[in-house]
Amino acid sequence: MLSKRLFGLLITASVIKYCHGGCYAVSTDLNTKWRKADVLEQIAHDYYQSLALGPDDVGDTQKRFASVFSQALLLYLTSDKHNVLESVEDAAQKIGKYLDEPADVIGGKYRSVISIYLNVVEQPITDVQNACPVTAREAECIKALSKLERKRIERCPEYFKNIDLYTRLSEWVSSCGTLYFLQELTTFASKNCSDSATIDFFVKSLSGKYSQTFYIFKNIFKTLITERYTCNTFSFL
């Protein structure tokens, strides 16, 4: 049986894919903004909770799967190899030295990555939720959001960087490739697989049909670690 958080990921991905048809806007949505913010926030939260968080999670096979996969993903994201296949192979080779560690230690670095992402995009998510609730029509939403973002930039001039990262990340999370992948990830996790099977799944996923999906994510990650973000929620208290 899937853990609560992995089940949450599966439900979110399934519902969004089903409702979106093309994995983008739902025809009945009054505006194009609120859903992407909601999906990004939910998936980030559920994915974080799916990782091993402490010693109590060490015996949880699904949390170990998520932690080992995520550490391999982080090694892929930070690889300096020149193409996708080389980066995947590099990560698959390097992950071996982490496998003697308990799951909470393995998952620790990726938990930090999620926290760093959220530190940058939390305020843009909140802005969208405030300016573009589910009941707001598109024109009203765009007008209110533009006004709010201008005020943020007046307070913290580099806030446009936060908006840009949020836009790219929310588009990526709501894309068909990501949503299909999350469904496969959660289904595979239910098999209580070994570390070697987890690594095989990682290699097949990132070097196969999801290679472009994670190539895009790698570029977003590069922006996160190379840009200097001077604005966050605390800038506007």
Mean pLDDT for 153-177 is: 96
- Residue 209, domain extent: 4-226
Q: Please report where in the chains the tokens 């007046």 appear, as a residue.
A: 154
Q: Phi/psi class of residue 21: alpha, beta or left (left: φ > 0; alpha: ψ in -120 to 50)?
A: left
d(CA 52, CA 122): 23
138 occurs within a structural domain: yes
By the 10 Å C-beta count (0-12 exposed, 13-18 middle, 19+ buried), 122 is classed as: middle
Q: Please determine, for residue 12, whether its predicted confidence score (pLDDT) is greater than 60.
A: no
Q: Based on the structure, what is the number of domains in the chain?
A: 1
Check pLDDT > 50 for residue 13.
no
Q: In this structure, is residue 85 part of a structural domain? A: yes
Residue 27: band (very low, low, confident or very high) from pLDDT cuts 50, 70, 90: low
- What type of residue is 209? K
Average pLDDT on 104-119 reads: 96
153 lies in a domain? Answer: yes
Does any domain span residue 231?
A: no
CA angle, 14 then 43 then 10, to 5°: 30
Residue 117 has pLDDT above 70, yes or no: yes
Residue 236 belongs to some domain of the structure: no
Q: What is the pLDDT of residue 191?
A: 85
Answer for the pair 178, 209: CB distance below 8 angstroms, yes or no: no
Compute the average pLDDT of residues 31-37.
Answer: 94
Q: Across 52-66, 111-125, 176-190, which has the greatest mean pLDDT?
A: 111-125
Does residue 153 sit in helix, strand or coil?
Answer: helix
The reply to whether 170 falls in a domain is: yes
- Domain-located, residue 163: yes
The residue among 5 and 114 whose pLDDT is bigger is: 114
- Give yes or no for a contact between 55 and 41, defined as CB atoms under 8 angstroms apart: no
Residue 14 has pLDDT above 50, yes or no: no
- Rounded average pLDDT over 16-26: 52
SS3 163: helix
For residue 79, what are the contacts with CB-CB under 8 A and spacing of at least 6?
A: 86, 87, 90, 91
